[in-house]
Amino acid sequence: MTGLQKKRLNGGLIDRSQPIDFTFDGESYTGFAGDTLASALVANDVALLGRSFKYHRPRGLIASGSEEPNALVTLSRGAAVTPNTRATMVELEAGLTAAPQNAWPSVRFDAMAVNDVLAPFLTAGFYYKTFMWPRAFWEKLYEPAIRRAAGLGRLSTAPDPDLYDRGFLHCDLLVVGAGPAGLMAALTAGRAGARVILADEDFALGGRLNAETLVIDDAPASVWLATALAELASLPNVRTLSRTTVFGVFDHGIYGAVEMGAPTAKDHAPRQTLWRIYSKSCTVCAGATERPIAFPDNDRPGIMLAGAARTYVNRWAAAPAQRIAVFTNNDDGHRTAADLAAKGLTIAALIDTRANAPDCTDANETFKGAQVIASEGRLRLKNIMVRTASGGRRQISCGALAVSGGWNPNLHLSAQQRTRPVWNDAVAAFVPAPDAVAGQRLAGAAAGDFSTAGALSGGVNAARAALADLDIKVKHSKLPKADDAPTRITPFWYVSGTKRRAWLDFQNDVTVKDVALAQAEGFRSVEHVKRYTTLGMATDQGRTASTNAIGVMAALTGQDIAQTGTTMFRPPYTPVSMGAFAGRSRGKHFRPTRRTPTHTFAEANGATFVEVGQWLRAQWFTQSGETHWRQSVDREVRAVRNDVGLCDVTTLGKIDVQGVDAAAFLNRIYCNGMAKLPVGRVRYGLMLREDGIAMDDGTAARLGEDHFVVTTTTANAGAVYRHMEFARQCLWPDMDVQLISTTDAWAQIAVAGPKARKLLQRIVDPAHDLSNGAFPFMACAPVTVCGGLRARLFRISFSGELAYEIAVPARYGDALMHEMMAQGQDLGATPYGTEALGVLRIEKGHAAGNELNGRTTAAMLGLGRMVSTAKDSIGAVLSRRAGLAEDTHRLTGFVPVDGVTPIPGGAHLMREGARQIAENTLGWISSAAFSPTLNSPIALGFVTLADARKGQTLRAVSPVDGLDIPVRVVSPHFVDPEGGRQRD
Amino acid sequence: MTEFRLAPLCATGGPAPRSIVLGNVTITEVPDIAIASVAKRAGGASALTECARVLTGTDVPGPRRVAGSAGSMQFMWTGPEQWFVLAPLDGRQVLADDLAARLRGAASVTEQTDGWACFAVEGSGTAALLERLCALDIARMEAGMADRTGIEHMSCFVICDAPGACYRVLGARSSALSLFEALSCVARGLA
């Protein structure tokens, strides 16, 4: 069939010099640049595009735009597979491969079409009534079976190879829709100098101007359109976004939009861009969507909306059939007949439900006050049956039927903030409620103003009103002259008096009967009917279905339509790919990675990295011959206990605290006293939350009378800084204190072990005396290292050994590590990671994140006496409250009775012989490790009455792992309980 | 610059600054920038103003502004009564100490030089790049404006040196590589 476009007419907005080959359902076809997949298929005389959701009925195109419910296809481009794509919105591109959905083995012969025969059993609520028992079968049997039989496209489950960007735009006026109203709004605001964004979902701007044979200023509308677009392009303050759907309105004038990439975009360009548009004002000119009329078997391929038929013929020169009938309740159907006849197509008949309908000279026959009551043709329409005004029947042969039931304004963006649209009898449609969204106005068909003249003036007026709000002056300019025909329509929702099914929601296979059944079963609210029948719930969200269903409901109940009301509108207006929301945040770019200053050193020295928040930290350093991580960790721990170890501790939060009131401020932040800390000294500090629970621990180093550096745990660096800023700004704004994070600015390396001083004496410049007398435990000072580089030295110990932390500007961290390793070679200098760090602190009985878990108090941590009663501090009062103060859980140590069995972290502690039930728990294991120093597993944990239980045997119970291990309660200080080593 | 035994690394991890040209955008790491934070203390306003006048020839800047010219001493507003002072690093190893000596208690001064990574983003495609990375109204940024924003979950400053042509992006040093990748991934898509 290649090259043969049987149904291509003359004219149209297509470029015949650019043929494009594509594939649909395994067959090759050719279209032209300017085609959509849908228009190219129409031109190639392909009417059958898929099978319906539930009954697997043959389906073809109904619409020509984003409202299309039937023509959902799966697109393939290389590894990219995109299901549920509307053929009407796919810009034809070379090599495009599309496949129909929901059909097996083929769209022409679909085995699941048996569902259509079973239709009497598959009515609304069928699932709820049928698959109730046995309960377990729903998830395992029924739902998977139904999902296979009914459904839309399938995901490939492979990673999406396409790229997506996200971005942010700002404007004075956002204009949604580039039809006559939107163009006039954009021109008006653009000429006034306002920043304008004009967005349209189509790749060609112009809206209905591209689809109609309208006259503006006594010339074809295309002339005016070209002039308008050229003027907009010349205005630097106007940004035009084609292929861009504004899908949602959010708070404060923020709109969400998705821009599709052009088919000509380069391979490495993003396929879609999600824009967040910050607008001061918005004019919605989103046009209107035509609605069908429900009549028996109205879903055959070839039966389509009258406006769509007109669009295919006028814009794309593609004829749905040579012989076409029109079924309408309004004057717009007559326009279709006229346009199609003008293109040389035969209008077999025009059937108008109105008895007072105008004559139609373009049709072979006009039936007034008549209805279409049946259709025939298995895979494509062949005949329709007409019931005439007098009750007679006439069969009419036609390959397509153009149906118009009137037009619904596309008012979704005005209704997404819970204000429901209101019914307007004059145009027989729901129109936007006034002032539904702050800063938003509607114009043109979206506002219920269906004439071209009305659209042009409405666009101007909406823009003028928006600019007046923004104090932007508007120059007067002449309004283009256009047709101002009134809308003449007599609402007609469905053909009654027949037993055959008449479709309302084509995408979800919901018929008039289903709505009637829901009504009969007591579902009266429009929201309930929607849920029960699934009408309006598929990817098209009932764009062509909802108003008709409301009309049917109103007719069935005798209510008027205004009382029946609409369902709730919610974003998105049309489906948005999950990939667009994710943007670049995928895979390794999901979140940023923070690297320590010695990352390069660690990589080169066999480090295994662990994620700690966003940080990548060395967990251990594997040396040659080591085959298990425990070998590396044990070696690193021994190096610290016997020689000297080096560990990058940059990740610990550092907060610079300065100001006249710095000491007084920290005295209120920490529960222990900080005011009298001498300059040149460091103090361990504990801060509590307002509720008295321990928040974080760390050190405060006093570098000057009015200058401290506070450290936090790695995990709490952000939280502690926020807490301190809150206290500074909100609790005590009168204190003269300034805070700033310096975590990243300084590379900080722990130098721990009996030979630490010896090593540092080779690093720190000789002017600085590091002897125990001159620089004792808990001393700090600015020093210089390696021949003059400014540094800070802190004598603090997390391991319990003689230890220091040395800080240099971050860019020198890696070099300092290398230098210390070189200088410490004869001392056994060894880099150690977070795992050894953990073992060392457990051996020493120091609390860390596992112990500071948001449920423990200072007393429980064995730090109760740190909570000063001589001053007030955050959390001090509530730490003494009833219920908290009596908690006897205390941090203590545990060893396995047999000396060899590892103690599981998180295990519950119970008495010997006690049943494994929650009531019997005496506490829990918080941290566990193998201690190479003791050559035994050890653990820290919290247990009630810990001091009294010292020496007792308890059980560490882990029902999850089936473990029950006898443990002995011991001191939490496994190594050097007197603390002599760190002071030597 | 280094008279001591240690060789510095760039924030992106290598000895040399990273640079990449992608279409109409050039992204270049700028390692030679000294930064100090200056936060006004009670009663320090006039001394601070005097200091800014001496160093930059103008007052301390207000919100979203930078005072002084790129390439010499600049004050950048970072928050209420807080500024960053930016200077070429060459010979300014002790920018914070210099400022503290000048201000003599009128403000708290903290060294921030290695807290940040700086990238120069230059070329005609920079506005299109930055509007895909941050919520700032890039098109309305004039030379001498700076603002704090988020770029792919990273807290950053964007400084406009020449509208549509030259910007500096400052982000935390530890995530410099992630920031460089965030900038270059989007720039690659536009190239």
Whether residue B186 and residue A816 make contact (CB cut-off 8 A), yes or no, is no
Identify from B3, B4, B118, B169 which residue to disrupt to test chain A contact, counting A C-beta atoms within 10 A and taking the largest count: B4
Mean pLDDT along residues A385-405:
97
How many CB pairs (< 8 A) connect A and B?
Answer: 156
**B:142-171 residues touching chain A, CB 8 A cutoff:** 152-154
Q: Which amino acid is at A242?
A: S
Q: Is A899 helix (H, G, I), strand (E, B) or coil?
A: coil
Name the one residue in this structure whose structure tokens are 């809206």. Answer: A207
- How far apart, in whole angstroms, are the C-alpha atoms of residue A56 and residue A149? 9
Whether residue B131 and residue A738 make contact (CB cut-off 8 A), yes or no, is no
What burial letters (b/e) apply to B52-76, b meaning 16+ CB within 10 Å?
beebbeeebbeebbbbbebeebbbb
Mean pLDDT along residues A215-232:
97
Residues contacting A491, CB < 8 A, separation 6+: A329, A406, A428, A551
Given a cut of 60, whether residue B37 has pLDDT beyond it is: yes
Region of A253 (left: φ > 0; alpha: ψ -120 to 50; beta: rest) is left
User: Containing H/E element for B110?
Assistant: strand B107-111
Whether residue A584 and residue B152 make contact (CB cut-off 8 A), yes or no, is yes
Q: Is B92 helix (H, G, I), strand (E, B) or coil?
A: coil
pLDDT band at A151 (very low <50, low <70, confident <90, very high): low
CB of B122 closer than 8 Å to CB of B26: yes
Instruction: Please give the residue of chain B at the shortest CA–CA distance from A746.
Output: B114
pLDDT band at B94 (very low <50, low <70, confident <90, very high): confident
Instruction: Please give the residue of chain A at the shortest CA–CA distance from B105.
Output: A659
The CATH number assigned to the domain with range A493-559 reads 1.10.10.1100
Whether residue B153 and residue A814 make contact (CB cut-off 8 A), yes or no, is no
Q: Residue A389: what pLDDT?
A: 96
Q: How far apart are the first and last CA of chain B?
A: 37
Q: Does B82 touch chain A (CB under 8 A)?
A: yes
pLDDT tens digits for range A729-759 = 999 999 999 999 999 999 999 999 999 999 9
pLDDT band at A132 (very low <50, low <70, confident <90, very high): low
pLDDT band at B3 (very low <50, low <70, confident <90, very high): low
Count other C-beta atoms under 10 Å from residue B110's C-beta.
Answer: 26
Mean pLDDT along residues A530-554:
91
Instruction: Please give the residue of chain A at the shortest CA–CA distance from B11.
Output: A811
Name the one residue in this structure whose structure tokens are 């025009």. Answer: A350
CATH topology of domain A1-161: Ubiquitin-like (UB roll) (3.10.20)
Angle of CA points A823, A826, A831, to nearest 5°: 65
Instruction: Please give the residue of chain B at the shortest CA–CA distance from A236.
Output: B139
Could you say which of B9, B139, B185 has the minimum Cβ distance to residue A589?
B185
pLDDT tens digits for range A674-709 = 999 999 999 999 999 999 999 999 999 999 999 999
Given a cut of 50, whether residue A874 has pLDDT beyond it is: yes
pLDDT band at A475 (very low <50, low <70, confident <90, very high): confident
Instruction: Please give the residue of chain B at the shortest CA–CA distance from A654.
Output: B115
Given a cut of 60, whether residue B1 has pLDDT beyond it is: no
- How far apart, in whole angstroms, are the C-alpha atoms of residue A964 and residue A967? 9
Using an 8 Å CB-CB cutoff, list chain B residues near A265: none
Mean pLDDT along residues B119-125:
98
Higher pLDDT, B5 or A140: B5
**What CATH architecture does domain A888-983 belong to?**
Beta Barrel (2.40)
Whether residue A811 and residue B8 make contact (CB cut-off 8 A), yes or no, is yes
Mean pLDDT along residues A277-290:
98
Given a cut of 70, whether residue A1 has pLDDT beyond it is: no
The model scores a pTM over 0.80: yes
pLDDT band at A9 (very low <50, low <70, confident <90, very high): very high
Q: Residue A156: what pLDDT?
A: 81
Q: Residue B145: what pLDDT?
A: 97
- How far apart, in whole angstroms, are the C-alpha atoms of residue A580 and residue A584? 9
- How far apart, in whole angstroms, are the C-alpha atoms of residue A140 and residue A124? 22
Least confident range from A64-68, A369-373, B71-75, B133-137: namely B71-75
Q: Residue A118: what pLDDT?
A: 74
Given a cut of 60, whether residue A172 has pLDDT beyond it is: yes
**What CATH architecture does domain A657-739+860-873 belong to?**
2-Layer Sandwich (3.30)
Given a cut of 70, whether residue A182 has pLDDT beyond it is: yes
Same fold yes or no, A164-288+409-469 and A293-404: yes
Instruction: Please give the residue of chain B at the shortest CA–CA distance from A273.
Output: B132
Mean pLDDT along residues A448-463:
97
State the Rg of chain B over Cα: 17
- How far apart, in whole angstroms, are the C-alpha atoms of residue A627 and residue B119? 42
The CATH number assigned to the domain with range A164-288+409-469 reads 3.50.50.60
pLDDT tens digits for range A846-859 = 999 999 999 999 99
Nearest C-alpha of chain A: how many angstroms from B46? 16
Mean pLDDT along residues A940-957:
97
Pick the CATH number of A593-652+743-856 from 2.40.50.140, 3.30.70.260, 3.90.1260.10, 3.30.1360.120: 3.30.1360.120
Q: Does B191 touch chain A (CB under 8 A)?
A: yes
Q: Residue A123: what pLDDT?
A: 73
Whether residue B31 and residue A811 make contact (CB cut-off 8 A), yes or no, is yes
ipTM of model over 0.90: yes
What is the DSSP pairing of strand A346-352 with strand A366-368?
A: parallel
Q: What is the dihedral of CA A955, A957, A962, A966, to 10 degrees?
A: -20
Kindly state the percentage of chain A with pLDDT values over 70: 98
Q: Does B7 touch chain A (CB under 8 A)?
A: yes
Could you say which of B110, B175, B182 has the minimum Cβ distance to residue A594?
B175
| DSSP annotation of A363 | B
Instruction: Please give the residue of chain A at the shortest CA–CA distance from B132.
Output: A167
Using an 8 Å CB-CB cutoff, list chain A residues near B108: 656, 658-659, 706-707, 738
Nearest Cα to A923, choosing from A931, A914, A932?
A: A914
Whether residue A592 and residue B111 make contact (CB cut-off 8 A), yes or no, is no
pLDDT band at A149 (very low <50, low <70, confident <90, very high): low
Whether residue A745 and residue B6 make contact (CB cut-off 8 A), yes or no, is no
Structure tokens at A317: 């020169």
CB of A736 closer than 8 Å to CB of A797: no
CB of A884 closer than 8 Å to CB of A692: yes
DSSP string, A214-253: -EETTEEHHHHHHHHHHHHHH-TTEEEETTEEEEEE-GGG
Spans of all domains in chain A: 1-161, 164-288+409-469, 293-404, 493-559, 593-652+743-856, 657-739+860-873, 888-983
- Distances from the Cα of A216 to the Cαs of A209, A233, A234, A982, in angstroms? 10, 20, 21, 91
For chain A, the average pLDDT equals 94
Q: Residue A148: what pLDDT?
A: 66
Whether residue A270 and residue B181 make contact (CB cut-off 8 A), yes or no, is no
Whether residue A815 and residue B9 make contact (CB cut-off 8 A), yes or no, is yes
Q: Residue A144: what pLDDT?
A: 73
Using an 8 Å CB-CB cutoff, list chain A residues near B41: 659-660, 736, 738
Nearest Cα to A686, choosing from A677, A676, A696, A678?
A: A696
- Distances from the Cα of B68 to the Cαs of A187, A512, A875, in angstroms? 40, 73, 45
Instruction: Please give the residue of chain A at the shortest CA–CA distance from B9.
Output: A811
Residues contacting A798, CB < 8 A, separation 6+: A750, A752, A837, A840, A841, A844, A846
Class of domain A293-404: alpha beta
pLDDT tens digits for range A546-577 = 999 999 999 988 889 999 999 999 999 999 99
Q: Does B90 touch chain A (CB under 8 A)?
A: no
Nearest C-alpha of chain A: how many angstroms from B130? 8
Least confident range from A561-570, A869-878, B2-11, B179-188: namely B2-11
CB of B96 closer than 8 Å to CB of B115: no
- How far apart, in whole angstroms, are the C-alpha atoms of residue A549 and residue A510? 10
Residues contacting B14, CB < 8 A, separation 6+: none
Nearest C-alpha of chain B: how many angstroms from A762? 12
Using an 8 Å CB-CB cutoff, list chain A residues near B176: 595
Q: Residue B134: what pLDDT?
A: 97
Q: Residue A2: what pLDDT?
A: 43
Alpha helices per DSSP H over chain B: 45-56, 95-103, 126-130, 176-190
